[in-house]
Structure 1
Amino acid sequence: MTITLLLPARERFGGQRLSPATGKALARADRSQAAADPSIDGRAQIARVLDVLPRGLPVAAAARQRDAGDAINAVWLRADPAYVQPDINGARLLSYGQALGLTAADAAELLRPLKPLFGDTGFPIDAPVPSRWYLRLPPGAKLPEFTSPEQALGADMFDQLPEGNEGRRWRALLSEAQVVLHNHPLNARRIAAGLAPVNSLWFWGAGVLPDHVRTRFARIASDDEAVTALAALSGAQVDTRPMSWPGNAEDALFDLRDGRDLALLERDWFAPLLAALAKGQLDSVQFDFADGARYDLARSQRWRFWRKPLHSFVAAAGSSAA
């Protein structure tokens, strides 16, 4: 029974201090090094835990299959509801999807004038889930690279939109959709109620349904939709990530890549996992970092007392101990 933690690149923790227990365990662990993950969306790290064929992150198709079961024989693109706030330098994506709190009735009302716009282009739009909107494209449709909303959040949206000839078409479609949404009466009611308007869409996650998705984990817990949508196709139990290790002794993966506060990770994850390992409740604990480093911790390693404890992840990154 092994618990694997997906973690950000070690440099993200800066000089934050490891607890003596974690520093000792990491120093004594078996260490390996995969290629660092240069991608913004973490696809190299995800590929280490989810075997997706063909390679890639077709989030829209995977999520569509989970939501509606009809993703075969089409190219899918997410067109999620979004709130964009204009500012002096352009416009910024401030909220999208579930955070907007749309009901099924809200989504249906917003989509009503958008359906002719996208239908006329040959890309029908619908929303089997109020926070997840989809465009169905014909097989073989070629699309530009789109940025995921997690990457674009808070950034100038114009820097995140697709470029080139293919990108120009989608920028034009987005502009037309924004005009429709800007004039939508539901948004006037939302603003009057103190809610963010749905004044834009966010295109992302393009692709076709994978031929297969496999994983070695019985359970995967993550708040990243790319992970959860694809993991659902693997047959693993998929959950939202708990606030702390739930104490289940099973082969499970917990996605902690958004963690930045080392003290919280120590309290909620590292310390209880190391305690369970010491008691023999787990066979091993794996730390998998976005920079490619992996530490495999086992109870038997307590005899490696000659290895000096690590004091920070910066020190770990600079260590050549294996």
Structure 2
Amino acid sequence: MSARLTVHFSGVPAAHLAAVSGLTPVATPAGDSAADACALFGLRGPDLPLAAITYTHDFGTSPPAWCARLDPVCLMPSGATLRLIELTQTPLSEADARELFDRVSAAGVIPGVQWRFGAPQRWYVESTDAPDVRTCPPDSLPGGDVAAGHPRGTDAPRWQGWLNELQMLLFDAAPNLAREARDLPPANGLWLWGGGMTPVLPPAPFDTVWTDQALIGGLARLAGCAPQAAPESVTEWLDALPAGHALLGLAADAAAPERAAHWLDALQAALDGGRLEAITLHAGGARFHLQRRSLLARLRRGLRRRALR
């Protein structure tokens, strides 16, 4: 029996994947890439507890109570407001991230919480009391406008005050001064988002999961499917892909034009050769289908490539 494959690109706009693949979306459901990933595992609704899910990936177990992400970000003045710059393109080193994390977590600014370091870009706070605070992911702000994403709810003013205090602690931290000296954006703020309790998921609809995404990894664990690391060699991985329905979760850098072309060529060849029965791609909340090409189309493509060489 042939294998079926679903590929989810994290942090990749649908228009970008359409441009690098030449494919047209067959469906564009409401929601973003994170909501689309959750929907693959049967989890839908507003205010998804994304922090509890990525926590499960980072620590191998679900959080014991309410938890939220408090991720390091750069806050830059922009007119009358602040503009948020994510540090994905200029990430913190492990050493710098831990020094900054230790500085804010030891200060006791937020009472009654436990801090957890998941990764240089993923910090968490846990609380036995779930606060009434509603937030939004840092990548959802229009133009990075911080004012558009301030916490809301009855407990929001307290949390905003704590965030302001933490920002002052980060302002003159040694790693940030060193980053500014190298013309890199400092991690001078923390962004609260994704709070909630651990969701209960139905059994995973996938036989196997490979991923380098924290969200896909956490969803798989919560659905009873132990994820494996994303493959480095796509061709060797496809040759050994077992029968059944597999999910491959890839981070945004996999959609860079040259790398995406390599992935798509290998997937198309596996589909054309019958090693894969069906391939569905997800990006930015949109869904794409790879279609098996006819023998004539494959011959024409091969001739065009030889002519180019």
Q: What's the TM-score, normalizing by structure 1? A: 0.69
User: What are the Cα deviations for residues 18-38 of structure 1, in whole angstroms up to 9, with x where unaligned?
Assistant: 3xxx79xx9xxxx7x6xx432
User: What are the Cα deviations for residues 56-92 of structure 1, in whole angstroms up to 9, with x where unaligned?
Assistant: 6423223333333564431001111222222334222
Unaligned runs of 5+ in 1: 306-322
Range with bigger deviation, 61-70 or 243-252: 243-252
- What CA distance in whole angstroms lies between the structure 2 residues aligned with 1:214 and 1:171? 38
Q: Which residue pairs with 1:79 in the alignment?
A: 70
1:278 aligns with 2:278: no
Q: Which residue pairs with 1:253 in the alignment?
A: 247
Q: Which residue pairs with 1:313 in the alignment?
A: none
Match of 1:66 among 44, 57, 78: 57
1:94 aligns with 2:88: no
Identity, in percent, stands at 22
Q: Which residue pairs with 2:122 in the alignment?
A: 132
Q: Secondary structure at the match of 1:205?
A: strand
Matched to 1:2, the amino acid is: R
Range with bigger deviation, 262-271 or 278-287: 262-271
Change (3 A) 1:16 1:66: closer
Give the aligned length.
Answer: 287
Q: Secondary structure at the match of 1:170?
A: helix
1:168 aligns with 2:157: yes
Change (3 A) 1:167 1:16: same
- What CA distance in whole angstroms lies between the structure 2 residues aligned with 1:136 and 1:278? 49
Give, in angstroms, the shift of residue 243 of structure 1: 8.7
- What CA distance in whole angstroms lies between the structure 1 residues aligned with 2:44 and 2:30? 20
- What CA distance in whole angstroms lies between the structure 2 residues aligned with 1:47 and 1:136? 22
User: What are the Cα deviations for residues 249-276 of structure 1, in whole angstroms up to 9, with x where unaligned?
Assistant: 3443234695998975873233332322
CA contact (8 A) 2:57 2:217 kept: no
Give, in angstroms, the shift of residue 50 of structure 1: 1.4
Change (3 A) 1:54 1:138: farther
Give, in angstroms, the shift of residue 105 of structure 1: 6.8
Q: Which residue pairs with 2:304 in the alignment?
A: none
Q: Which residue pairs with 2:106 in the alignment?
A: 115
1:38 aligns with 2:30: yes
Change (3 A) 1:86 1:166: same
Q: Secondary structure at the match of 1:214?
A: coil
Change (3 A) 1:244 1:52: same
CA contact (8 A) 2:52 2:196 kept: yes
Matched to 1:272, the amino acid is: A
- What CA distance in whole angstroms lies between the structure 2 residues aligned with 1:200 and 1:132? 13
Unaligned runs of 5+ in 2: 298-309
- What CA distance in whole angstroms lies between the structure 2 residues aligned with 1:14 and 1:284? 18
Range with bigger deviation, 173-182 or 203-212: 203-212
Q: Which residue pairs with 1:155 in the alignment?
A: 144
CA contact (8 A) 2:167 2:190 kept: yes
Matched to 2:196, the amino acid is: G
Q: Which has the higher contact order (CA 8 A, sep 6+)?
A: 1
Give, in angstroms, the shift of residue 13 of structure 1: 6.5
CA contact (8 A) 2:56 2:221 kept: no
Q: What's the TM-score, normalizing by structure 2? A: 0.71
Q: Secondary structure at the match of 2:280?
A: strand
